[in-house]
Structures are given as structure tokens and as C-alpha cells.
Amino acid sequence: MPGIQSVLVDMADWCLVTDIDGTLLGESESLERLRAAVLASRDEQLARGGRLRWVVATGRGIDDAREVLRDVGFADGDFDAFVTAVGAELYLGAESRPHTGYHAYLSADGFDAHRVRQVLEGMPGMRLQPDHEQHAHKVSYFAADTPEVRERVEAALDLLTFETQTIYCMDHYLDVAPAAGAKGGAVRYLIEHWGLSSQRIVAAGDSGNDRTMLVGPWPAIVVGNGHAALGDLRGHPHVYFASAKYAAGVHEGLRALGWLR
């Protein structure tokens, strides 16, 4: 991706979007180095009149996400937004309530979690995850990721009057979300909300529930420990496969793509 590097090094504004588990978390020393490098770059951008935004996109809920990040040394002010529950909710800055604009964005096409549960009720090889994993814009199941299950699920969801997307992860998790949702939908919303170009975003992840934010029209990084889950993205024009794992892989990718000097 040599063309991207020469453009991005000198940009005043950009936004980093990172998953937590398996991407930021996994090795403490490399995480400390990544945090220091990103925050130093943020200071440099401010001095030049620009801005670096850091967004977390995770399957965790907001309280759990903030707590685990504090436990590994992050400060509350390190992040500009939290995309939680695989994109079902968005929190800007220190907001304690989900962002209402994003809620309206996800509701615009008529997504109805109750109807999703109705059409998938009793389907073999699937069962609902606990209540705390269920959201207005995400229905979550334990489900074997097999061609047969995928075919049955897609056939059932085709009966709905609104569009959905399915997110499979780690061979036994399935989320059903609005077509405009999931992590990728949240990134698209933030691009519009903050008035950014898609080329001023870079996303990093390691698993199936990161896929929607890794295949957008912006640069993306698959960390070394994510190669098995996301190996089919090799050859994608915007995706960099890092050799290093966890936060070191994010750092490697950012330097290789020219986002960090």
C-alpha cells in the first residue's frame, strides 16, 4: 500500500479505531509502547492545529470496556469514542448514555430485534446468549458457524421487511445487526458525524466481529494473531497484515502505513 503512506504522514487530522480483546490486549509492554506513541502523535497533531481521535470498537459493554482499559493503564481521556456491543451502541467521550444520533441512525431502516428473534426461534444449532448481550440493535446467539447454519439463518432473515447483517465470530458466536450497524456501521457514522474523509481513518482488529470495520474504504490492520480468523482478507486493497501480534501488530501497521513516524 505505498500510495497511502505518502499521503497520510502529513495529514493534520486522523482517527484510529481499535478493537480491545486480542488487539490492544495481549501483551503489556507493546501496549504501553503503542499508547505512548499514539498519545505523542496526538500532541504533535494538536501543536500543528490538527487532531488525532482514538476510538475503541469492542464487543464489550461500556462499563466493562472502560474498566478493562483502566486496568491496563489507559486514562479515561485517551479515547474520543467507544463503539460497544459490536456496534450496537456508541458513546462519545465521557458520555454515560448511548449517543442518541447513532441510535436514530440504526433505527432508520426499521430494525426490530423482536422480529429477528421470532424468525430465528427454534432454529437447530442456535440458542440466545444471555439477556445482557441483547440490545435494541443487536440480537446475539451461540451458533455453530457452519454452511448449513449460515444458509438457514440467511433464509429466515430474508423473510423480514428490513435489511440485516450477520456477524460470526470465533466459530460459535453470531450477532444479527441492522444492515447499517455493527462496527463498520459505527465507523461510517463517526466519519459523517466528525466530518472526516474515509481515508483519514485506520482500523485494527483480530477477529470476525472486526470484519465489517476492516473491509471499508479506509486503511485497516489485521494483527498477527488474527491471521487465521481473517486470512481471507489477504489481497484486499486496504488491509495490511502485520507480523507482530496484539498491540505490537497495531504499532507495526501504523508505522508501515505511514500513520506513525
CATH code, domain carrying 158: 3.90.1070.10
Q: Into how many domains does the chain fold?
A: 2
Residues 242 and 147 in one domain: no
Residues 8 and 91 in one domain: yes
Instruction: State the Cα torsion 216-160-170-180 to the nearest 10°.
Output: 20
Contact 231, 253 (CB under 8 A): no
- With respect to residue 86, please indicate whether it lies within any of the assigned structural domains: yes
Domain around 242: 2-106+181-256
Task: Note down pLDDT in tens along the chain; length 261 residues.
Answer: 433 343 344 556 899 999 999 999 999 999 999 999 999 999 999 998 999 999 999 999 999 999 999 999 999 899 999 999 999 999 999 999 999 999 999 999 999 999 999 999 999 989 999 999 999 999 999 999 999 999 999 999 999 999 999 999 998 999 999 999 999 999 999 999 999 999 999 999 999 999 999 999 999 999 999 998 899 999 999 999 999 999 999 999 999 999 997
